[in-house]
Amino acid sequence: MNVIEVQHLSKQFSIAKRQAGMWGAFQSLFHREYIVKTAVEDVSFAIGAGEMVGYIGPNGAGKSTTIKMLTGILVPTAGDIRVNGIVPYQERQKNALQIGVVFGQRSQLWWDLPTIESFELLKQVYQISDSRYRINMQTFTEVLGLDEFFQTPVRQLSLGQRMRADIAAALLHDPKILFLDEPTIGLDVVAKEKMRTFIQEMNLERNVTVILTTHDMADIEKLCSRMILIDKGHVMYDGPLSTIKDMYGTYRVLIVDVGQDASFQIEEAELIREEGTRKWFRFDRNRIRASQLIQRISDQYEIHDLTIEEPDIDTIIRQIYQEGIENPQGVAHKQG
């Protein structure tokens, strides 16, 4: 069953053009010109219950605008949007009851109140029963260690504490869908890992559907089997992370130390770096196998040390942004 359905969704913003100088400012009082900025264009996708989907793209791609339309904050310019059967901007309150939202860049909590009071206020806002509130607070406190800062006002929390409080607050009313906009931004490695584990647990134990926007590819690798990639408002790819990796991750780098100063080239590989006796060869595994490459080198030289580096998902995504994407096996597509 799909919990989110988006069809031909577009959003344009009209931005008033500023005229230069005093005369321009005066003229603007009587006649305003507008420029139209298209943030999201003809985006379609469907997300099933319990899926964890990474919604990713470079700065300004249209990710936050999409999330804001899904949460009902923004009204689309065109297209259909349904979250659990509800049109979010038409029934904002009803939609709010079934979704949880975390914006990594800003807190949803009351800035000046002790953290525990924010939770108590949310209990009232969402009319959460006493027993449900107790169970959820107990679970979240156990996993996220909330009690260490219950009495601290939100504005005094460290970033890691604030994010833990925010995600707990977003899940307090048992939403079936969770929107996470940069939930690990600025966190240290340990805090990131804790956050990811918690998200994973909520998905597994409560079947919460998760839509995650992030610039941290490790979030996607750890959490999402599916990825929707957008650029300039268009969907460029929608499919498994593994397909993207298989298609674009065919390059490897062989780092080899031959123990002596030797200058040599290999036809099917590109020498991309040299440091003393150590060399870096970039090769396409579809063209030559690592074992063949090593064989060629060891035929002439004694290999002292070697490593093979696989491309990380960051490198692959960067390559896609730069070069676009072809249409492989009907799962990915390029538009615009």
Q: Which residues bind ligand ATP (CB under 6 A)?
A: 13, 15, 37, 39, 57, 59-65
Contact present, 118 and 152 (Cβ < 8 Å): no
**CA distances to 121, 124, 134, 177, 266 from 127, in Å:** 10, 5, 13, 18, 69
The Cα–Cα gap between 126 and 97 comes to: 7
DSSP letter string, 257-299: E-SS------TTEEEEEEETTEEEEEEETTTS-HHHHHHHHHH
CB of 60 to ligand ATP, least distance (A): 4
* Residue number, 145 or 186, with CB nearest to ligand ATP: 186
CB of 296 to ligand ATP, least distance (A): 44
* Residue number, 103 or 283, with CB nearest to ligand ATP: 103
CB of 158 to ligand ATP, least distance (A): 23
CB of 32 to ligand ATP, least distance (A): 15
Helix H or strand E segment including 228: strand 226-231
Contact present, 306 and 257 (Cβ < 8 Å): yes
The alpha carbon of residue 288 and the mean position of all alpha carbons in its chain are separated, in whole angstroms, by 34
* Residue number, 163 or 288, with CB nearest to ligand ATP: 163
* Residue number, 64 or 115, with CB nearest to ligand ATP: 64
CB of 212 to ligand ATP, least distance (A): 13
* Residue number, 65 or 203, with CB nearest to ligand ATP: 65
Contact present, 101 and 108 (Cβ < 8 Å): yes
* Residue number, 68 or 164, with CB nearest to ligand ATP: 68
* Residue number, 69 or 146, with CB nearest to ligand ATP: 69
* Residue number, 238 or 269, with CB nearest to ligand ATP: 238
Contact present, 237 and 227 (Cβ < 8 Å): yes
Angle 148-152-158 (CA atoms, 0-180°, nearest 5)?
A: 75
CB of 109 to ligand ATP, least distance (A): 21
CB of 245 to ligand ATP, least distance (A): 22
The Cα–Cα gap between 324 and 334 comes to: 7
CB of 66 to ligand ATP, least distance (A): 7
Integer-rounded Cα radius of gyration of the chain: 25
